[in-house]
C-alpha cells in the first residue's frame, strides 16, 4: 500500500486489521502479542539527500505484552482500530481531542495524556501506511485561508460537490481549507495564476488581500497561520505537483519562521513518516531575509538567547545546507537582529505591494 495514494474504505479497514493480525499471529505461536514500528527518536530520523526530505531510518522497535506499559499500548491500539473502523463504516469523523475523551470508556486502555493519544494515532499511520485523513481523524486547528483565482470542487457533508472560486465565491477572509484535501474530498479544477504565495501572518495576509495583490500579481495567497497545518502543506504540494506553480514563502525574518519554510519544503521531524506526501521541495523562501533588514532599513528587534541558539542549530541542519541559507544565518548572527513582515509598514501601507514584493519577485523572474 502506497502512502499518499487515495485508499478505499476497504483498504483502510484491511490495513487496520493487519495490526490486530500481527498480534494474533504471535499468540497462535505461543508468543506475546506485539507490534513492530520504526524507532521514533531523533537518532533514527535521517535527511534523505536524494528525496530532500526527513525520513525514518532502519531501526525498529517491538512493543509486546511482556511489560505492563507496552501491553497497555497494544490494548489502546486495538481500541483505536475498532473506533476508527466504526467511524469509517458510519461515515463519521472525530477530532484527536474527542478520541482522547472517548478513551475514558476503554477501561485499562484509557489514555493518560493527549500526547499519548496523538502519538499512537501517528504510530498507526506508520504501521498501516495510511494517513490520519484515511482514519477520519482531524486536528483541532483548522487549515489555511486562500484568496486568488483558483477553483476547487469540495464534497460537502451531504456528499454533493460544490464548485468554489477562491476569489469570486468567498469573502475577504478567503476559502477555508478543510482538514482533508485529498481527491475524494477536494478537487483542483482550474486556475488563472502564475504562482502561489504562502504568507506567515494574518496581518500580512489581510494587507495583501486589501491591496488586491492576488489580482494585480496573478497569484493565490495562502495564510499559513504560523506553523502550517498538515492540510495546508498538503494542498500546497498538490498545487505545485498538479498545477506546476511555484510556491513562494513570505515570512518573518527569525529562526522560527525559517523552520516554517523548512517544514514546507523538506518536511519536519515529527512527520518524517509522511514527508514525501507533505513536502514541496520546489518551494522558495522569498523574505523577509537578513539582507532585507539592511537593504530596506527595517525596524528590528535584538535576537534573544533562544534565537541565537536556534540559528546555530540551523547551521548544522541539512535543510539549511545551501550557501545562500548559510549566508543569511551568518548575517543575522552578525547584525544580531530579526524583523517582522509588517515592519515594511514603516514606509506606508502600500509599500509591500508597490515596492517590496515587485522587487523581490522580479529577482526571481516573476515580473507583473
Report, as residue numbers or ranges, the catalytic residues. Answer: 101
Buried b (16+ CB within 10 A) or exposed e, 174-198: bbebbbbbbeebbbbeebebebbbb
Phi, psi of 335 (to 5 degrees): -85, -20
CB-based contact 199:205 (threshold 8 Å): yes
Can you tell me the distance from the alpha carbon of 16 to that of 6, in angstroms, rounded to the nearest whole number?
16
**φ, ψ of residue 308 in degrees (nearest 5):** -65, -40
Could you give the CA distance from residue 144 to residue 32 in angstroms, rounded to a whole number? 45
Asked if omega into 288 is within 30° of 0 (cis), the reply is yes
Q: In the structure grid, which three cell numbers stand for residue 243, read together?
A: 498545477
Q: Please state whether beta strands 219-223 and 195-199 pair in parallel, antiparallel, or not at all (unpaired).
A: parallel
Could you identify the residue written with the cell 502600500?
A: 350
How far is 33 from 35, CA to CA, in rounded Å? 7
According to DSSP, the residues that pair with 253 across neighbouring strands are 339
d(CA 153, CA 157): 13
- The rounded distance, in Å, linking the Cα atoms of 259 and 307 is 12
**CA dist 267 → 39, 52, 145, 218, 264 (Å):** 18, 9, 21, 28, 6
Amino acid at each position: 500500500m502506497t502512502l499518499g495514494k487515495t485508499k478505499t474504505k476497504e483498504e483502510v479497514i484491511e490495513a487496520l486489521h493487519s495490526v490486530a493480525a500481527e498480534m494474533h499471529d504471535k499468540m497462535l505461536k505461543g508468543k506475546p502479542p506485539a507490534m513492530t514500528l520504526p524507532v521514533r527518536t531523533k537518532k533514527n530520523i535521517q535527511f534523505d539527500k536524494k528525496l530532500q526530505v526527513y525520513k525514518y531510518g532502519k531501526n525498529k522497535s517491538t512493543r509486546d505484552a511482556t511489560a505492563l506499559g507496552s501491553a497497555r499500548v497494544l490494548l489502546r491500539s486495538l481500541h483505536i482500530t475498532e473506533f476508527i473502523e466504526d467511524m469509517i463504516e458510519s461515515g463519521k469523523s472525530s477530532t484527536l481531542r474527542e478520541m482522547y475523551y472517548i478513551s475514558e470508556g476503554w477501561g485499562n486502555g484509557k489514555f493518560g495524556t493527549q500526547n499519548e493519544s496523538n502519538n499512537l494515532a501517528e504510530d498507526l499511520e506508520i504501521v498501516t501506511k495510511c494517513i490520519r485523513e484515511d482514519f477520519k481523524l482531524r486536528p483541532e486547528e483548522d487549515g489555511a485561508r486562500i484568496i486568488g483565482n483558483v477553483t476547487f470542487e469540495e464534497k460537502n457533508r451531504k456528499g454533493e460537490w460544490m464548485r468554489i472560486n477562491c476569489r469570486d465565491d468567498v469573502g475577504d477572509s478567503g476559502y477555508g481549507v478543510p482538514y482533508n484535501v485529498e481527491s475524494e474530498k477536494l478537487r483542483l479544477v482550474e486556475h488563472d495564476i502564475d504562482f502561489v504565495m504562502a504568507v506567515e501572518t494574518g496581518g500580512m495576509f489581510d494587507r495583501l488581500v486589501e491591496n488586491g495583490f492576488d489580482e494585480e500579481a496573478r497569484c493565490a495567497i495562502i495564510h499559513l497561520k504560523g506553523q502550517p497545518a498538515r492540510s495546508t502543506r498538503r494542498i500546497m504540494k498538490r498545487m505545485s505537483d498538479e498545477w506546476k506553480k511555484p510556491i513562494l514563502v513570505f515570512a518573518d525574518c527569525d529562526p522560527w519562521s525559517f523552520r516554517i519554510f523548512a517544514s514546507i519544503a523538506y518536511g519536519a521531524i515529527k512527520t518524517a513518516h509522511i514527508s514525501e506526501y507533505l513536502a514541496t521541495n520546489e518551494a522558495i523562501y522569498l523574505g523577509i531575509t537578513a539582507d532585507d533588514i539592511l537593504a530596506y532599513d527595517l525596524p528590528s528587534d535584538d535576537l534573544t538567547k533562544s534565537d541565537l541558539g536556534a540559528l546555530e542549530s540551523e547551521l548544522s541542519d541539512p535543510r539549511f545546507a545551501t550557501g545562500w541559507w548559510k549566508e543569511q544565518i551568518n548575517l543575522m548572527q552578525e547584525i544580531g537582529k530579526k524583523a517582522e513582515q509588517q515592519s515594511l509598514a514603516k514606509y506606508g501601507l502600500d509599500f509591500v505591494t508597490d515596492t517590496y514584493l515587485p522587487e523581490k519577485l522580479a529577482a526571481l523572474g516573476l515580473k507583473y
